[in-house]
Amino acid sequence: MSNVRWSVVVDEETDRALRTYLASKGTKKGDLSRFVDDAVQARLFELTVQGVKDRNRPFSQTEILDAIDEAMS
C-alpha cells in the first residue's frame, strides 16, 4: 500500500484537542496520520451503511429477507 500526502485545514480547537488526546496516549511518529485515516474510514463506512438503510427504507424486513434468500439460492 502506498501513502499519499494530504493538506487539510481544521479548527485550532480541534487540532489542540486531538494533539492533547494523542499526547495522553504516548504519541508516536505517525499517530496523527493513523488517527485521521481511521476516522475517514469509519466515516465512509457510516455513510455507506446509512445509504443502504435509506435505499432499503421503502421495503419491509420480510421483503428484504426474501430478496436475500432468493439471491442466496
| Domains identified in the chain, total number | 1
In a domain, 23, yes or no: no
Query: By residue range, what is the domain housing residue 48?
Result: 28-72
Per-residue pLDDT at 1: 76
In a domain, 11, yes or no: no
Per-residue pLDDT at 38: 97
Quickly tell me which residue has 421503502 as its cell: 58
Gap between the Cα atoms of 63 and 9, Å rounded: 45
pLDDT tens string 51-70: 999 999 999 999 999 999 99
Mean pLDDT of the chain: 95
In a domain, 3, yes or no: no
| Per-residue cell: 68 | 436475500
State the average pLDDT over residues 24-44.
95
In a domain, 5, yes or no: no
Gap between the Cα atoms of 16 and 23, Å rounded: 10
Gap between the Cα atoms of 24 and 39, Å rounded: 18
Quickly tell me which residue has 500526502 as its cell: 5
Per-residue pLDDT at 50: 98
